[in-house]
Amino acid sequence: VVRVSVTGGVVSGEVEDGASALTRLELSLDGGEWRPLRVADGVLDGRRERFSLRLAATVRAAGEHSVAVRAADEAGNVG
């Protein structure tokens, strides 16, 4: 995971793998279950991908939160 930021209720960032294509990208909010994230170009198949997700209004209005992002590559390595 290269970068993650939250601005105006939008979580965005970039993930990269130096050796193989990324195959999974997920987000967990406040330690909850991992949910798939969509990448900017619509296809999770590159070694470098960007993502963004607008959080629901109820989440944005509820105060502080923790956001975790994880990615996996073709070899099953997770970061």
Q: Mind listing the pLDDT tens digit for each residue in 17-41? A: 999 999 999 999 989 999 999 999 9
* CA distance linking residue 78 with residue 72, whole number of Å: 4
Nearest Cα neighbor of 70 from 41, 36, 47 is 36
Q: Which residues pair with 16 in a beta bridge?
A: 48
CA distances from 71 to 8, 12, 60, 64 (A): 24, 14, 24, 24
79 touches 13 (CB < 8 A)? no
Q: Which amino acid is at 64?
A: E
* Per-residue pLDDT, 64: 83
58 band by pLDDT with thresholds 50, 70 and 90? low
* Per-residue pLDDT, 55: 84
